[in-house]
Amino acid sequence: MYGKLYSACLYGIDGVLIEVETDLSNGLPQTSIIGLPDSAIREAVERVRAAVKNCGYQYPLQRITINLAPADLRKEGSSFDLAIAVALLMTSGQLVLPSQERTLLLGELALDGSVRSVPGVLAMVDLAKRQGFTSVLLPVDNLAEASLISGINVYGIGHLRDIAPDKPDSQTKDGVLSKTGTVVVNNFAHLMKPAAYEQGLSNTKTQIPASLSDDYSDVLGQHHVKRALMIAAAGMHNILLVGPPGTGKTMLIKRLPTILPPLSEEESLEVTKVLSAAGKLKETSNGLVTERPFRSPHHTISTSGLIGGSGIPKPGEVSLAHRGILFLDELPEFHRQVLEVLRQPLEDHTVTISRARAAFTFPAQFMLACSMNPCPCGYLSAQSEDQRCICSPSRVAAYRAKISGPLLDRIDLQVEVPPPGEWRNAAPSPTSAEMQAKVVHAHHIQAKRYASSSVRWNSQLSGRLLRRTARLPSEADHLLQQTLQALNLSMRAHDRIIKMAQTIADLDHDGEILTAHVAEAIQYRQLDLNLF
């Protein structure tokens, strides 16, 4: 006896269709799972056996072979449990699913037959839709996530018994479950979501994120730093704040999400898909993620934790920060090797991890925000007698050498944050809402300008498009060329100054880049200028 159903698993952040084939033959009762399963899948035999018996069905006392195809693809996770159990019941003649439905089954089984949630459902349901499936059976806890994909019927089940409207006989004799008749499921109407649930899901999808309590108006002074942060947000430029301890570097960057525009629907789906694949969607609301991610890993993080890794790689922090902000506090404290792996995603906006059998690509379009002290003791630029720097020039040079030139070259804005004495009795500060309005306006300008290309922000400009879009007047070009020669800047730094100048022009509502815009952009290359 032979049967086949369909399930899916994650491969990176994308879903992969898996055929669950079952064969029952004469021989000593045993169950074998083949097709490169991991230990979690091999252990599914015992979970499925207990769940089938505890739901009143009979586990076949035959030689059972379960094949997960394609056989050359390494598979991991517990999302195949439900498909394996139903395939066994169908092959042994105990259950018949609707013939008119092409169904994908996902879910982990408990020993009593309960169906537990699995990660990555969003990508798997999206795959099912693209592959022409009409319905998906999955854990009820994943129903809200799966319902974000329109155009396919998704049914949530909390128990293996929920599949069949008529429960099998569960009477026992001498501790052995009696044989049951075939249960025929004509349709999945009994699994339809109630209207109240649909209404609640609709409200969740369109909900407006709660306003954040942190606001830039709480930060006294530091107007030039706020200006730099607004420029970074307007063009999605990378930014580094350098200053003594206690000057508000971390506080300023943590308020950066309050001035970023909300995610578009397309961006929300991308971010939700990444979180779903990483198994972190349960930490958020049941609908699409509406707030831009803000990730702040500790400086002891490993390379695989930052970029992604494991046997079948999972998204790292750079992918979890997709469409949002990756904040690295105390940048020189991170291992140099860890920082160096940021160079490729900062340029390509994707992460590619190669393994023996395949290469995995994760999205990594994020704004890098960093902070650091000017020297090991932190008081190199402090003016107070009580906070005098005790670091030798060689020690300062070794401290800064932890950040390589190529990485620093990819950080557009390098801004000095002065010590507290320089911002006492400061003028009132603009609110986050006022700053956000300017940022949103600049984003609208860029969206209109780049409507016919794949570019979304000025920071993504490159090559011919940069030369055609960001044209410099002769005086501004002369100033930039002089700076390039005087500071021995790379061509990458040259292009990034032009991109910043274009963003400053957008913020100032100017259609053309002016000399003042280029001069301001140059002033944000503090480490190149050796001003501290």
DSSP state of 284: S
Q: In the predicted model, is pLDDT for residue 317 greater than 70?
A: yes
For residue 262, pLDDT over 70 is answered with: yes
- Please give the model's pTM, rounded to 2 decimal places: 0.82
What are the tens digits of pLDDT across the range 443-473? 999 999 999 888 889 999 888 888 888 889 9
> CA neighbours within 13 Å on the CB side: how many for 352?
6
Burial class of residue 201 (count of CB atoms within 10 Å of its CB; 0-12, 13-18, 19+): middle
SS3 (DSSP) at 230: helix
Q: How far apart are CA 84 and CA 101, in angstroms?
A: 18
What does the pLDDT look like over 461-513, one tens digit per residue? 888 888 888 889 999 999 999 988 888 888 888 899 999 999 999 998 866 89
Percentage above 90 pLDDT, the chain: 52
Give the pLDDT band of residue 170 (cuts 50, 70, 90).
Answer: very low
Which DSSP string corresponds to 320-380?
HTTTSEEEESSGGGS-HHHHHTTHHHHHHSEEEEE-SS-EEEEE---EEEEEE-SSSSS-T
Q: Report the chain's C-alpha Rg in angstroms.
A: 29
Which pLDDT does position 193 carry in this prediction? 59
Q: Which of 259, 254, 263 is nearest to 209 (CA)?
A: 263
Closest CA to 411 of 483, 330, 492: 492
- Give the other-Cβ count within 10 Å of 486's Cβ: 10
pLDDT of residue 197: 47
- Please state, in angstroms and rounded to a whole number, the distance separating the CA atoms of residues 203 and 192: 19
Q: Which of 155, 184, 1, 5 is nearest to 80 (CA)?
A: 5
User: Residue 106's closest CA among 122, 118, 94?
Assistant: 118
Q: With a cut of 80, say whether residue 304 has pLDDT above it.
A: yes
Which among 1, 99, 100, 83 has a CA at the least distance from the CA of 35? Answer: 83
Cβ neighbours of residue 167 under 8 Å, at least 6 residues apart?
A: 56, 161, 183
Q: How far apart are CA 521 and CA 476, in angstroms?
A: 11
Pick the more confident residue, 284 or 303: 303
Please report the sign of the dihedral spanned by the C-alpha atoms of residue 387, residue 393, residue 395, residue 400: positive
Amino acid at 238: N
* Contact by Cβ (8 Å): 259, 389: no
169 vs 349: CA distance, rounded Å:
57
**pLDDT average, residue stretch 81-94:** 94
Q: The tokens of 487 are what?
A: 């500071």
To the nearest whole percent, how much of the chain has pLDDT over 70? 87
